[in-house]
Amino acid sequence: MPSFQRHLILLSAFILISLNEVHAVYDRLPLKSLEYSDTKIIRVREEIKYNLQISVSNLDQKDLVHLRFLVYKVGPKDTFFKIMARTGMDLDTLSSVNELASPQDIYPGMELLIPNMRGVYDSEEHSSDESGRKKVAARFRISPKFLYYDDLRKSWFVPGRGLPKEEKNFFYGLVFSDPLAEEGRVSSKFGRRKDPFTKKDTFHGGIDLAAEEGTPVYASADGEVSFSGTRGGYGSLIVLKHGLGYETKYGHLSKLLVSPGTKVKKGQLIGEVGMSGRATGFHLHFEVLRNSLRQRPIFKGHV
């Protein structure tokens, strides 16, 4: 018997275990264990294999097992790559479905969505009509019949396809470089910390790089200046817009050397270190954001 048929028969057996377990796309079923013996792990891995065969074989969408999700709460010893391997996911799917900017973005208690098929969300087209479907299909070189429109995310899910190379580079921290070109030291990390002014436990949405006054500040990646001026606690601030919804912020500067609308290259001089705004010493406050959400900055020498 061909392997493809064996997968179909095995998958049918799992579906027939209980008709009550066949759910619509927006159902969220809890996944409590990553053990290979767990029945939900077995089932989702089989469905992923089967759906992948269907999508690459260009058969009819009705042959796919309908898109659904499991919800897994990250444990204290879990890593991105462990979860990926145990569930049968790949990097592209797990990061795209959960809108992760890097492998370090997961944390204990976080709830991750585990779909029953590999694929990614399209980040460009948000229209749910036939025109939108055709645009996504052309971009990913896939038949339009395979696409799912997710009303919750207002985005198309593309089965069996992966992230563009540029987005993978962002995910692995290959796009951004040290904005001080290794002339600073990390004085405050990303995450929870004691506020230097109030002494209360607060969230720090970037990293602080201590350096001497006037130390050159460079663009961490190619982009366009969207803001250059004074903004609250940031003091003198520069904001750069990059591709795929990414932004970088450079705060507490002593000099602003670029203007809004200016296109800059990675490594281009844009300002100088200072202590303007809410600062206790000379340093650069550096942030990376994706779709307005702060991400852990990752670049060579700092993970």
Per-residue model confidence (pLDDT) at position 179 = 96
Q: How confident is the model at residue 256 (pLDDT cuts 50, 70, 90)?
A: very high
Distance CA 174, CA 183 (A): 19
Are 176 and 298 a contacting pair, CB within 8 Å?
yes
Question: What's the whole-number mean pLDDT along residues 130-149?
Answer: 89
Please state the pTM of the whole predicted model: 0.68
163-177, pLDDT tens digit by residue?
888 888 888 878 899
Handedness of CA 294, 298, 301, 303 (dihedral sign): positive
User: Comparing C-alpha atoms, which of 262, 49, 26, 3 is closest to residue 160?
Assistant: 49
Q: What angle do CA 172, 175, 181 make, to 5 degrees?
A: 115
Q: Which amino acid, 231?
A: R
204 membership: H or E segment, kind and range: strand 201-204
Answer left, alpha or beta for residue 30, where phi above 0 means left and psi between -120 and 50 means alpha. beta
What pLDDT, on a 0 to 100 scale, did the predictor assign at position 156?
Answer: 92
CA–centroid distance for 200 within its chain? 29
Query: Which residues touch 68 (CB under 8 Å, ≥6 apart)?
Result: 23, 24, 25, 27, 29, 115, 116
Q: Residue 60: pLDDT band by 50, 70, 90 thresholds?
A: low
List the domains of the chain with CATH numbers.
3-171 (no CATH), 185-295 (2.70.70.10)
pLDDT at 59: 58
Band of the pLDDT at 236, cuts 50, 70, 90? Answer: very high
